[in-house]
Structure formats: C-alpha cells, structure tokens
Chains A and B, each alone.
Chain A
C-alpha cells in the first residue's frame, strides 16, 4: 500500500440500473474498476426509477451519475434523470450512460444532457480516464 497515493478527495460515482433487466455483470465490472481507480462507487441496485436515481444522487452528493440499461429503457429514463437533477438544482453532476444504446439514440441522449455514452465493449480504462480528466478540469 502506498498511502501517499490515495486521494484525500475521491471522485464519488453513483451507478444505477434503470428499466427491467437484471444483468449485473457489466455494472459490477465497472464498479470494481472505478473502485480500483480510487473512486467511491455507490451502487443502488436494479430497477431504479429516474426519481430514485435523482434523489439518491443528491443525498449521496456524488460527482457523477452513471446510468445503465440493457432493456431499451434508456430513451425514456435517461433524459428524465437529467431533467430531474436540473429541476432540483443538482445539474453540477455529470451524467454518463452505458449499455446497449444504438448510435441513433446516442446523439439524442447527448442532446438531452447525457455527457458521455459508453457502449458495449468500452474498456474500463477509457471510462476511468474520462472521469479523471473531467474531474481535473472542474
């Protein structure tokens, strides 16, 4: 252990699964990668509604909200999360998304305020690098 290298101010990330699918492998892999990169990952479980995600993000005061859906629920739910955070004055949080998201949907999600979309096959290193870069630029 190299205590000096551990950040005093870790990035906090909420990982939430919306929609009805019960696939947890992807979100587990990402949670572990973010933890190993020194981040604090709050996992809130399956079948979350946008309202639950927004309330959780606020109570946990996370920096990043990571949304995952493998059941085509992304188009209705993801923009709603962004909207709820904005309504509640918590739009300083970065919203990112992952899962099975067709290219034509990705652009619409970006337009709705989702900052980045990591589709299947993205390496966890890429996600870690993106978040670190974002945090450093704040």
Chain B
C-alpha cells in the first residue's frame, strides 16, 4: 500500500512556488530573489536559485526544499550545499516529553512570547508515520494555527518516515533550511516520547522536557532517561490537582541526580499552564539564559561540533549500508547463503566476507 510516487521535480526546472517571505519583525518583508528559473536551465542552476530564495526568506521556497529533502530528491543536496556555509545563527530548541504533556500547546505559547520579543520563529512538529502504510496524520498544527498567517512564523509538520529517535528522517536538514530562511529560533517538537526516543538532544542547543502532574503515581510519565535529556524542565498543566506534589517530586529527582559544579548549568524547573499562556515569559527567559550559558561556557562549540558530526556520520552509514546491500539477491550472495543453509559456513563469517568484498571496490572519498 502507498501513494504513487509523485513525478514532479526531477529533471524539470522547479515549479514556481509562491508565498510570502518570512518578514523581519517591524521591517519590510524581504523580497524574493530570482523568481522562476529559466526554462531549460541546468539542474544545478535551479537548485542555486532555490537556495537564494530560501536565503531571502521566501516561505514557499523553504517549504519546497524541505519537501525535496524528505522525498530524497537529489537536487536538494545541491541547494543544501549552497546554504550550509551561510547558516548557524538560529537557536535550536527541542521540545519533548510524553504524549499528552501539552507540547504543541506549549510551542504555540512559546511562539506568542518569542514574537512579542521580536524573534522570527520556525517550527518543526514531528508526528509518527504508520509503520504499516507509511502514511501519517499530522495534527500538532491544530494548536498553533493562530500563528499560521503571521509572516514571522513558519510551521512545518513532519512525519517520522521510519526514523525511530523521536524526530523525522529529514529533521536535521529541515532545521538547516529554517535557519537559512532567517529564523532566530527553531522549535523542534518531537513525537510523544518514552525514554529512548531522544535524538532531539543531538539536534538542539537547548532541550525542554515537558511533563505533567498526576500521570500515574507522582510524575510517573517522566522517566530517568528523559530527565537526563533536559536543559529545562517544564511542569505543564500546573493548574491540575497534584501539581504541587509533582513539583516536589521533580525537585527531589533533580537534586538527587547530580550535584552541579558551581559554574555548571543549574537545570531549572518551571511551572506552566500553556493553554492560558501562564509561566511562559519565565520559560523564555530561562531559554535565553541557557543560550548565554552555552556561549559563555564554551559548550556551544562542543554542541556545534556534535551537530556537524552527526549528519556526516549518518550519511557515511547510509552510503555504506546501501553499497553493502547491493546485489544481496544476486547469484554471489545466494551462493554464500546456500552454504550457510547447508551449515558449511556460519552466517557471521559469510556476512564478513560479503561486506569486505562489497566495500573493497571503493576508493577514497
């Protein structure tokens, strides 16, 4: 089951895309650069023009580039190559937590407060793809729609498409695109997570873990692994019964977890009622303090090194896996497998032989 592949961008000049540029607060909207690519332009030319429009803040071009990355269009790579040297400004904030903690509502409230402070905001809201159909229902936007026509806000829903760490497969590249289009802050909302789906800590500069009171015994929903991911801890729905107990319990948990060094970041615990926008300015203050701490402490450079490394390693992995799997249905592989079936060869040795033979053919980078 699955939709037919869309025959669209490949080979042809990019479809003209429209939409308003992401306007700086209180300033003139940036004019889209370029426009339609020339008919018959080389594919590299179209990608460069698309990159220019993204850099000019053109929302539809950013949206199109994210789509091209998600769909694995090869031209997307050329556009990303153009953008990469020109980015690195945005403060990337991960928002994660168990299902029902109010992540989308909190993101919406954060958008409102950050807009009051004059920031341009990009949002990536991730929901799971069905492992059966590959389809998805992406509903995080419902809570954020009041910002949909604000030209200083760009919201993109993403389906995980097989990724298992709480992010979408293309979240890294999408963040890069939002940075390039001029977002000061990129909010990345993960799928509702348990303990292990915390890839967002690798992508984000600051990770907000959202929990809620009364989920089972005390704050049962917030597990140790998730707590360790937090730079800021938010107790949302703090108007519910049990909030005070939950806060006390979280304090105990926080202060038993580690004794921070005097100059280390002291993980704050903040109470919010996101649906009424209560407690949001202190949360944004804490985010700004965390960003300043990262710069002051040198931690930011370590995060940037990690952020550079991760997509590199991922890409190496992808390419090696693809090459190693090539021809796995061919006669050579079948001969090896037949030996394994007869038990004249064990599967581990067979796999080592196969991989070494497959990868031996390649030269350097």
Contacts and interface: CB of A to CB of B under 8 A. Distances in A.
**Do A and B associate with each other?**
yes
Given A41-B137, A90-B18, A138 B8 contact: yes
A135 B6 contact: yes
Interface stretch (B126-134, B228-236, B310-318): B126-134
A45 to B, nearest CB: 4
B23 interface: no
Nearest to A132: B4
B71 A9 contact: yes
Contact of A63 (B6, B16, B60): B6
Given A52-B149, A60-B63, A6 B20 contact: no
A9 B135 contact: no
Interface residues of B, number: 44
A59 B59 contact: yes
Interface in A1-59: 1, 5-12, 31-32, 34-45, 48-49, 51-52, 55-56, 58-59
Contact of B2 (A7, A51, A131, A138): A7
Contacts of B154: 59
Main secondary structure of the interface of B (DSSP, over half): loop
Given A1-B131, A11-B6, A35-B133, A56 B145 contact: yes
Contacts of B157: 42, 60
A52 B321 CA distance: 42
B148 A55 contact: yes
Contacts of B15: 92
A61 B63 contact: yes
B242 interface: no
B159 interface: yes
Nearest to A8: B72
B133 A43 contact: no
A121 interface: no
B71 A8 contact: yes
A59 B155 contact: yes
Contact of A35 (B67, B72, B130): B130
A89 B142 CA distance: 25
B135 A45 contact: no
B141 interface: yes
Interface string B112-156: 000000000000000001111111111101100100110000111
Contact of B17 (A51, A89, A136): A89
29 contacts: A5-B1, A5-B2, A6-B2, A6-B133, A6-B134, A7-B3, A9-B6, A9-B71, A9-B72, A10-B3, A11-B6, A35-B135, A35-B136, A36-B1, A36-B135, A37-B3, A38-B3, A39-B135, A40-B136, A41-B136, A43-B141, A44-B148, A51-B149, A55-B20, A59-B63, A60-B156, A90-B18, A132-B3, A138-B8
Interface of B: 1-8, 15-20, 59-60, 63-64, 66-67, 71-72, 129-139, 141-142, 145, 148-149, 154-157, 159, 162
